[in-house]
Structure 1
Amino acid sequence: MQARIENPAELLPDAVKAINLLYKAAHSAGVPSSTLELVHLRASQINGCGPCVDSGARAARKNGETDERLFAIAVWRETPYFTDAERSALALAEAATRLADRSDAVPDDVWNEAAKHFDDSGLAAIVLWIATTNLFNRINVTTRQQAPQNW
């Protein structure tokens, strides 16, 4: 499959600036970067975004993530590899990524569990990072961007 156009963010330089500001804001609220990487990877898997799954897994591994956790991210509920805080962030990522799948897209139990582990700034960062990841995913999937073949 070939990309339909270049990455739109690269074609519109002001978009790169805005995306970089979103990235910086989400990563400055004290949520562990490993948690944000897991959230990014899970949302990207759900959305079928090859470039984001590839880059997300590589970045997480480079930052010390284990293969066991990376291989199990899609089945995080059925494995012992994740903390309760990470599980709450992953549940929030799944709900916020699959908004159309249920009438109460992000149920109170999902939100309340995340709120047990993260303060308001942390929750804001996670929500912003989920939204930013979904932005990346939608751009890449719509324009058929491909994961790089050579790293």
Structure 2
Amino acid sequence: MQARMSIRKPAAKGMQAMLALEAYVSASPLPHAVKELVKLRVSQINGCGFCVDMHARDARKAGETDERLFTVAAWREAPYFTDAERAALALAEAATRIADNAEGVPTEVWDEAARHYDEEQLAGLVMAIAAINAWNRINVTLRQPAGAAF
């Protein structure tokens, strides 16, 4: 598989904006493990091999366990996640599959996330979900192969 094009040069300003968004997410007070789990799960939903590969590797380098990486796609049935992580994953799934629910993100999903995260962390979580969805759409559209340099 080969990427359709490199977007770095023709969309340099857009890439700068995406990287600025990524810097915000990185600096947000949302726990690092949650950021990586959300990026991985959203990328799985969106079928972005490039991002699944990258975020699984990043999470592993940051100390994430194999059990959690192997089961994040089935987090509801796996015993390895905290209630706060489950709330973040549920919000990430609902926001990623926004068209699947007439309510958009169900109130109970939002309320559960708000129970575990303060306002700044929730803002970081929402922005992390938006950012990884955007990255997925860029990489899937361009057919960026897993393991390739972007």
Q: Normalised by the size of structure 2, how large is the TM-score? A: 0.94
**Deviations 1:103-128, CA, capped at 9 Å, x for gaps:** 11200100000001111111111010
Matched with 2:114 is 115
Amino acid in the other structure paired with 1:2: Q
User: For the residues of structure 1 that align with 2:8 and 2:65, how far apart are their CA atoms?
Assistant: 31
1:89 aligns with 2:88: yes
Amino acid in the other structure paired with 1:4: R
Runs (5+) with no aligned partner, structure 2: none
The count of aligned residue pairs is 149
Matched with 1:4 is 4
Matched with 2:42 is 43
Matches for 1:1-151 after TM superposition, within 5 Å: 1-6=1-6, 8-148=7-147
User: For the residues of structure 1 that align with 2:33 and 2:51, how far apart are their CA atoms?
Assistant: 15
Q: Normalised by the size of structure 1, how large is the TM-score? A: 0.93
User: For the residues of structure 2 that align with 1:59 and 1:10, how far apart are their CA atoms?
Assistant: 25
User: For the residues of structure 1 that align with 2:8 and 2:88, how far apart are their CA atoms?
Assistant: 27
C-alpha RMSD over aligned residues: 1.4
Amino acid in the other structure paired with 1:74: A
Change (3 A) 1:14 1:103: same
Sequence identity, in percent?
56
Please list every run of at least 4 consecutive aligned residues from structure 1 whose deviation after the TM superposition is greater than 3 angstroms. none
Secondary structure of the 2:70 match is: helix
The answer to whether the Cα contact below 8 Å between 2:56 and 2:69 also exists between their aligned partners in 1 is yes
Deviation of residue 15 (structure 1)?
Answer: 2.2
Task: Name which of structure 1's ranges 44-53 and 115-124 shifts more when overlaid on structure 2.
Answer: 115-124
Amino acid in the other structure paired with 2:26: H
